[in-house]
Chains A and B, each alone.
Chain A
Amino acid sequence: MSTLSINGENHTIDVPPDMPLLWVLRDIVGLTGTKFGCGIAQCGACTVHLDGVAVRSCVLPIAAVGDRKVTTIEGVGDTPAGRKVQEAWRQLDVVQCGYCQSGQVMSAAALLTTVPDPNDADIDAAMAGNICRCGTYHRIRAAIKQAAKEA
């Protein structure tokens, strides 16, 4: 049994300690906005925040979460950076199929939390771990810059 703080709510979870946070969120808690893409931290679709820092939940055993607070795509809109990123994503019509976008939004929100006015190199460094097969990268870059302007 372990207790996780997810989007401000405590959840008591009874699963094997090596179970990645991704499957806890999706299969046990029922938060399906966080996506499975590769299972080896190569695509970023599963990105969530631990205490505001972007991590790949597909390779993070639940035992390693500790008492850090988990924020997912369903809760990131309640943070200042997440709200701005989601608004910019909507305004610039970033999404296509949308499957990777939860992870893209989470990575972008974590970036803006630490670097409020990122340049292209900052964006490259923060977003290179998130694959978009539809190829929405131009609008992702533009939307991050727009979200930064809203600060």
Chain B
Amino acid sequence: MSQGLIEAGHHAARAGLSRRTFLKLGVTAGVAASGGLLIGFSLPAASQDRSKGKSVIGGDAIESPQDGIFAPNAFVQIDKSGKIVLIMPKVEMGQGVYTALPMLIAEELEVPLDSVTIDHAPPNEKLFTDPLLGGQLTGGSTSVRYAWEPLRKAGAAARMMLVAAAAQQWQCDPSSCMAQGGKVLHASGDRSASYAELAEAAARLPVPQDIKLKDPNSFKIIGTPVRRLDSPEKVDGTAMFGLDVRLPDMVYAAIVNCPVFGGTLASVDDSNAKKIPGVRQVVKFDNGVAVIGEHTWAAKRGAAALQIQWNEGPSASVSTKQIVDDMAHASQRTGAVARKEGDVNNAFSSAKTRVDAVYVQPFLAHATMEPINCTVHVRPDGCDIWLGTQVPTRIRDAGMKATGLPADKIFVHNHLLGGGFGRRLEFDMATQALKIGKALGVPVKVTWSREEDIQHDMYRPCYYDKLSAGLDANGKPVAWTHRIVGSSVLARFAPPAFKDGIDPDAVEVASDLPYDLPNQLVDYVRLEPHDVPTAFWRGVGPTRGTFVVESFIDELAIQAKADPVEYRRALLGKSPRARNVLDVATQAAGWGKQSVPQGQGRGVSVMHAFGSFFSIVADVAVDKDGAVKVNRIVCAVDCGMVVNPNTVEAQVQGGIIFGITAALYSEITIKDGRVEQSNFTDYRMLRIHETPPVEVHIVKSMESPGGIGEPGTAALAPAITNAIHAATGKRLRQLPVGNQLRSA
């Protein structure tokens, strides 16, 4: 009957599978200690419920493959039937890693991309830790940067072993054999064997220690525009997101979270809720109430009928104004020094002119299109968790903490993410679902309404930046100070990364400018916004930092009566890649070539972050009522060697659109300890008719790959506000643009 219903018996199937207890792990990957792997595996459930049987994404990887499966490392499994499964150490949330990472493996493994199946990796830090992030996390635009070498090596090691297996059978030297198209061929041309035929023999061979990678000039897949492997199932409705999980005997939960951050449940009258047909039960927990229904609609109606009293707690009077005022006050303090060059005091005293500015950026919600959800089945002897997450190991840990069960009894079933943007780096939804699941004993799918999703997000922090610069007689900056005040996401998310009062994310870009500034002092004052929870958001530190420094450098150019592009160029002598993208973007945009009509303006930004270089030119129009329209975006990107140009263009365009939404519209405000926005009516998204053309120029480079998911977002806002200044003479030092230009 039902599509999408995970068939019964996954527990039985799990118990029935044999378990090979030793895998030749990680020797080639450089991310894992070799050794036994005894963590629980799970049936690739999602793969069984495909109605059309053509899905590329299988489901959960089986961590301990059965005998006879060739699994030379954590990323490649080939069985006797020739099925090639690639295990993804990163999760797919739209950024294209379920295409780019298979490209890296397939290039060296010598298999066509249409012959592979992709499985989600289970939680396992030993196998899947990204050293750039210090865990099994997907974020920070690190996926290709991390995978570039280990995944090519994983493919190459497998290929070498398959070649060695063929050479052994043919009693010839491996150098007389070559791999091609999923087969090993003998140089004579008279013998060949498929990987399927060789898998069992290859599994008995040692993993090679000395792995030679291809010369990039001989790449056949890397660098070519490849269509996404996950595209077909996302076009016909069969793609499985966390919200799409269906289980036998599953019930549905709707949630009412305490509207005030830090508040708790006092009491609830659920008599009306329980009268609603289909409502089964009401579950109370520390800071909210769940209504359990036979379907989502019953649960939602039940939640709406609850009468709840809250203990609102100490944050019940908190407002945005208070938070910003607190930051302004904190900005009087000396912060922890993130960057110090030369002697700024001396430089200020000899400067001809001085420029001072304060910038303020708002809280932002992630608003992933897939609202927050989590499905759990908590039993005395085990616990299954289904969701789309950027942090599978943290979800497993949340399961252990909630149930008291050991790691091998917690089964995390990861899914495609209907948007991540940092929201799914958090595990709050799992902790909450587990509280509810423990009270039920049957599988329960917890789905937040959009209103809960917006009002109980963990937000991109509000920030307050105070800058001063001293210019010499030629207008050149000789002194630069920058104090950053705001929440430290890292101090909560990864405490060891917060050292000596410095949050490396909060000061990113600001403390490592591409500009040549002889005397600079950048410091950071941590101030948490009462109980408003903060988290990473697309572009992380560089989104915050780039808006500020690229606006301020524009202010200096104007003070110096210089062209904003020429002014930047003159300071980029030590950063040729940054200067190059600036040149490419501005030339493509026709900077300085044609005059801009009255009421319109052109602005620029340049950025080095995520291992990539980025420059954006924005053309905007401001009408007489102060409404801003973005007419065109031109950008240049140098992200090193490109794995899939098709994805790079898509990520840049999408990242820029994400950035335009934030720059023009986005702001979460707090009143009486509550978020004032609630849905797409008052937390507005850019729509197709408001989207300008976005020209993407990819600079050819043989440098190692840089990140591409976030730079477009991070570099966008200052290009817009600089263009607004060019159009109107008004400098916007606060985001979003919103109604700031509207005539009162």
Contact = CB atoms under 8 A, between A and B. Distances in A.
Interface of A: 15-16, 19-20, 23, 26-40, 42-43, 45, 72-74, 77, 86, 89-91, 93-102, 105, 123-125, 127-128, 130-141
Nearest to B96: A96
A111 to B, nearest CB: 12
A112 B662 CA distance: 32
Contacts of B370: 35, 37, 97, 99
A2 to B, nearest CB: 15
Nearest to A23: B297
A60 to B, nearest CB: 12
B244 A16 contact: no
Contacts of B241: 35, 98-99
A27 B296 contact: yes
Contacts of A102: 237
Nearest to A82: B236
Contacts of B246: 30, 32
B239 A98 contact: yes
Contacts of A97: 92-94, 368-370, 416-420
B278 to A, nearest CB: 7
B369 A100 contact: yes
B646 interface: yes
Given A90-B235, A136-B650, A136-B654, A95 B228 contact: yes
Contacts of B233: 98
A36 to B, nearest CB: 7
11 contacts: A15-B295, A30-B4, A33-B239, A35-B418, A39-B450, A93-B650, A94-B231, A95-B94, A96-B95, A96-B96, A133-B367
A43 B418 CA distance: 14
Secondary structure of the A contact surface, majority rule: loop
Given A23-B295, A26-B296, A74-B238, 7 more contacts: A27-B252, A35-B241, A72-B237, A94-B231, A96-B95, A140-B688, A141-B688
B513 to A, nearest CB: 28
A26 to B, nearest CB: 7
Contacts of A38: 450, 679-680
Contact of B231 (A29, A89, A132): A89
Given A30-B5, A32-B244, A98 B416 contact: yes
A133 B295 contact: no
Given A99-B369, A137-B691, A89 B4 contact: no
Contacts of A136: 650, 654
Interface string B461-474: 00000000000000
A129 B246 CA distance: 28
A96 B1 contact: no
Nearest to A38: B450
A138 B653 contact: yes
B53 to A, nearest CB: 14
Nearest to A135: B657
B277 interface: yes
Contacts of A132: 369, 688
A130 B688 contact: yes
A32 B688 CA distance: 25
Interface in B268-286: 277-278
B244 A45 contact: no
Contacts of A73: 236-237
A28 B235 CA distance: 22
Given A27-B252, A133-B368, A99 B297 contact: no
Given A35-B418, A90-B235, A28 B295 contact: yes
Nearest to B276: A16
Nearest to B646: A93
B447 A99 contact: no
A77 B688 contact: no
Contacts of A96: 94-96, 650-651, 654
Contacts of B231: 89-90, 93-95
B217 interface: no
Nearest to A61: B297
Most chain A Cβ neighbours within 10 Å, of B5, B235, B679, B686: B235
B75 interface: no
B135 interface: no
B742 interface: no
B369 A37 contact: yes
Nearest to A131: B685
A42 B453 CA distance: 15
A36 B379 CA distance: 29
A11 to B, nearest CB: 10
A132 B657 CA distance: 10
B484 interface: no
A95 B296 contact: no
A45 B447 CA distance: 15
A90 B233 CA distance: 10
B230 A138 contact: no
Nearest to A89: B235
Given A30-B5, A133-B367, A133-B368, A42 B681 contact: yes
B94 to A, nearest CB: 3
B656 interface: yes
A30 to B, nearest CB: 3
